[in-house]
Chains A and B, each alone.
Chain A
Amino acid sequence: MALNIIVCIKQVPDPEHYSKVTLDPVTKTIRREGIPAVINPVDKNALEEGFSIRDSYSGKIAVLTMGPPQARRALEEALAMGADEAVLLCDRAFAEADTLATAYSLACAVRTMGHFDLILCGNETADSGTSQVGPQLAQFLGISCVSNVKEITFEEEMSLVAKQSLEGGYMKVRLRLPALITVRKEINKPRLATAFGIIEAAEKEIKEWCCKDVEVDSNCIGSAGSPTKVLEPIELPRRKGEIMTGSPEEAVKKAIEKVRELGGLT
């Protein structure tokens, strides 16, 4: 069973530098200047899952991203980690896309890439965290989808079982390929790129496609294709803790009073 796997990744501002992140007051988007860009962390788990499946069943991994020209760097890293080929969907017409327009654009690229058996995505991005693009992409492609997956096992030819994480438990879902899975961080530990991978990556092609290279309806991409708009970013108040001092009895009494004061007890 040789599988054609597509892994969708996104380049995001390095979460380790989030203390430096500010929002542009006009565009309401993240100012990225001075913040290193990295592969969205959980997308590396998606890549690792792809590598693991390829190692077990053979096949190839194509990695796909949509973004500005510098997103090529994320693809280069994915190739150095072991991906076989890469596609960068890059055109100003794709800019300012919300999750729906992004998923539509990716779906058009996937159709152009040809036959696939499995699409893997990270469950959510570190910079916007909607968890919507994966399921929307599956919808556009008309294939099965399971999100929030922490384990994938193959039971028979072209059929897999995805263990979906739920609040307080999990659900096992059996589905036939082609399908799309969005993975959680705990599914695996992503491998590091190696020096061997880095030199091999230089030999691998990165295809760069603009909107003319994939058959798109221009009304469905970029800003025009985005039904949602960011009106106003709101900074949520930070959670804070308070330590009650005194003897255990006094501390418990103070805690109960505090909870009552906050409306937690009537």
Chain B
Amino acid sequence: MDFNLTRQHEMLRDTVHQFADSELAPRALELDEKGDFPFDIVKKCGEMGLVGIMTPKEYGGTDMGHLARMIAIEEISRVYPPLGFFFQTGHLGHWSVQTYGTEEQKKKYLPSLCKGEKIMFDAITEASGGSDPAAAQTTAKLEGDEFVVNGRKVFITLPGAADFGCILARMDDKFSEILVEKGTPGFEVVRREKIAGFRTTPVNELVFTNCHVPKSNLLGQEGRGLAIALTTVAVIGRTGVAGIGLGIARGCYEAALNFAKERKLYGKSISELQAIQFALVDMNVEIEATRWLSYYAAWQIDQGKGLREIGADIARAKLLGCDLANRVAPEAVQLMGGYGVTAEYHVTRRLNDALQLFPAAGTQEIMKLTIGRSILA
């Protein structure tokens, strides 16, 4: 048993840490205030090999794996969680293409995704509920060499900034995943939700009205769409949330720790008060525990283990990562008193971001169902 990170993982952590401090921290407040998608930062992440971190080298990636991805998302989210959310959601479609796509699709889409030049969304959820994807009503009918897509998708992250995406569509009694490019007649991004956190990552509603796409845009086997979508959400979405949760918690904990060292009350630093020490210790211990559980889940994916074997471990990581962020962020606000709720201390923006982790990649209740099925099997 070896708990050491590889030297590559260590160097990746260091460089993403420095990148986040130097490039993201100075812009975090401004980015959140404006709410515009940070295309330039994503491009920079592409140049650094971070967007293609789990993509094979032949398609422009660095192929460092899922643990490396989690480390990068954690370090980015420690400073600017909306960018972590871009990695979490953008990688859904990205991974679907590299895992289930044809050679032609991989060559067409992956290199520009890895460079951060193109952005992809993954559309599953409909008004019928994200927890019940089999109730989705969007349809795709094969007419000659084209699919004709009709339907509506809600709470889809990234379409407002993306160039193309994959959608889950019903074909009679089965589902298929279909790639759709922006600008295709009949495909509209109709609104952007006003959400609490992740201010720069657009969450949109999509409408498809007799939208014709080539048959060659089928992603994976016809009729296997639901399995592809759910596997992708589990493997990529949930580990991504775990990384974001870790990052948010670390960012809040570090802010609270620094504050406690500097803030003086009753003539001494408040870090000398046991009540403050205990609060910081609780945060620290929970972060460390969640980190190792989450790393274990990602590491197992890198070992080639299948979702059937490690689905519960991934669900545990999502469950704990989300809870961690939503416990540590309010605790940091509490510790920092009035300063905690000011924008300058960067905790409330992280608290808002943390809230978005509850529904992302499956609710906490769905995680418990997954874990429950595993332990009661």
Which residues of A pack against B, CB within 8 Å?
73, 76-77, 80, 192-199, 201-202
Contact = CB atoms under 8 A, between A and B. Distances in A.
Interface in B1-49: 7-8, 11-12, 14-15, 18-19, 22, 47-49
B19 A73 contact: no
A195 B48 contact: yes
A193 B15 contact: yes
A155 B94 CA distance: 48
A56 B14 CA distance: 28
30 contacts: A73-B7, A76-B7, A77-B11, A80-B11, A192-B18, A192-B22, A193-B11, A193-B15, A194-B15, A194-B47, A194-B48, A194-B49, A195-B12, A195-B15, A195-B49, A195-B64, A195-B72, A196-B48, A196-B49, A196-B62, A198-B8, A198-B11, A198-B12, A198-B49, A199-B8, A199-B57, A199-B62, A199-B63, A199-B64, A202-B8
Contacts of A76: 7, 11
B244 interface: no
B330 to A, nearest CB: 29
B154 interface: no
Nearest to B18: A192
Interface majority SS (helix, strand, loop, mixed), chain B = helix
A193 B53 CA distance: 14
Given A195-B62, A199-B62, 4 more contacts: A194-B48, A195-B15, A195-B72, A201-B11
A235 B12 CA distance: 37
A195 B7 contact: no
A195 B50 contact: yes
Nearest to B62: A195
Contacts of B12: 195, 198
Interface majority SS (helix, strand, loop, mixed), chain A = helix
A80 B48 CA distance: 11
A194 B44 CA distance: 10
Contacts of B14: 77, 193
B12 to A, nearest CB: 6
A196 B61 CA distance: 8
B69 to A, nearest CB: 10
Contacts of A73: 7
B140 to A, nearest CB: 36
B278 to A, nearest CB: 23
Nearest to B50: A195
A265 to B, nearest CB: 35
Nearest to A202: B8
Nearest to A199: B62
Contacts of B63: 199
Contacts of B48: 192, 194-196
A154 B19 CA distance: 31
A51 to B, nearest CB: 15
A77 B8 CA distance: 10
Contacts of B8: 198-199, 202
Contacts of B49: 194-199
Contacts of B72: 195
A77 B18 CA distance: 13
A195 B53 contact: yes
Contacts of B57: 199
A83 B82 CA distance: 33
Contacts of A77: 11, 14
B206 to A, nearest CB: 32
A198 B47 CA distance: 13
A76 B48 CA distance: 17
The 4 closest A-B pairs by CB, nearest first: A195-B49, A196-B49, A195-B62, A194-B48
Contacts of B11: 76-77, 80, 193, 198, 201
Nearest to A196: B49
B64 A192 contact: no
Nearest to B19: A192
Nearest to B53: A195
